[in-house]
Amino acid sequence: MALLGGHSDVAPATKEMQDVISKIQTQVEQKLQKSFIDMTATHFRRQVVAGMIYHIRVLASESSDDEEAPPKLSVLHLRVFHPLFDEPLKLQAVKAANPSEPLEVLDVDPSLL
């Protein structure tokens, strides 16, 4: 468990993280101007603030116009803010990452505010 203001250690993704990904997939697609067939959370860390910030590593399968071509796999690092109460999740940053790159803490992308 993360201390208030601190980041937790990186952990394997949970069903909760996959639910977060499902809820923000459209925001990610809009930011990257891409469409994904599947987005699977693999790892995450959290930061307790006035709400929760999640840093999530995702394997994303990009859709293609060529139905016979295999989907292009990408690794994405996301920063997602989960406000208090029942406000919607907000994508705060997204980064295309190398498969060997560890999950990092991303700063807020001003273009997503």
Residue 3 or residue 22, greater confidence: 22
Q: Is the pLDDT of residue 1 over 60?
A: no
User: What CA–CA distances, in Å, run from 113 to 13, 16, 63?
Assistant: 26, 24, 27
| pTM of this structure | 0.90
pLDDT of residue 63: 80
What is the length of the chain?
Answer: 113
Tokens 């603030």 found at: 49
- Distance CA(96)–CA(62), nearest Å, equals 13
pLDDT tens-digit map of 30-59: 999 999 999 999 999 999 988 999 999 999
